[in-house]
Amino acid sequence: MENIEKEIELIKKRNKSVELDKSWEKSWTRRIFIAAITYIIALMWMRTIGESLIFLKACIPTGGYLLSTLSLPFIKKWWIDVK
């Protein structure tokens, strides 16, 4: 009986860890942080290659990243229907 209780506790701890990982993957904190890093790296690269309007042009990859993180419910529904 004691062994089963230990196993249940291990499963609960693992489930909590999985839930936190999922929550982190979907969080806006993570998305904004990655977007900021993307923007900074794009700025540095464009400055290095001598590009003009770097502050504006660095928004393109950053915006692309943020758009890619949206769930797009209509595409999700289509994908589920196809499966």
Q: Is the pLDDT of residue 53 over 90?
A: yes
pLDDT averaged over every residue in the chain:
92
Q: Is the pLDDT of residue 25 over 80?
A: yes
Residue 20 to residue 55: CA distance in whole angstroms = 35
Q: Which residue matches tokens 């990243």?
A: 65
Domain boundaries, the chain: 2-82
pLDDT at 1: 72
Could you tell me the two tokens for 67? Answer: 């758009």
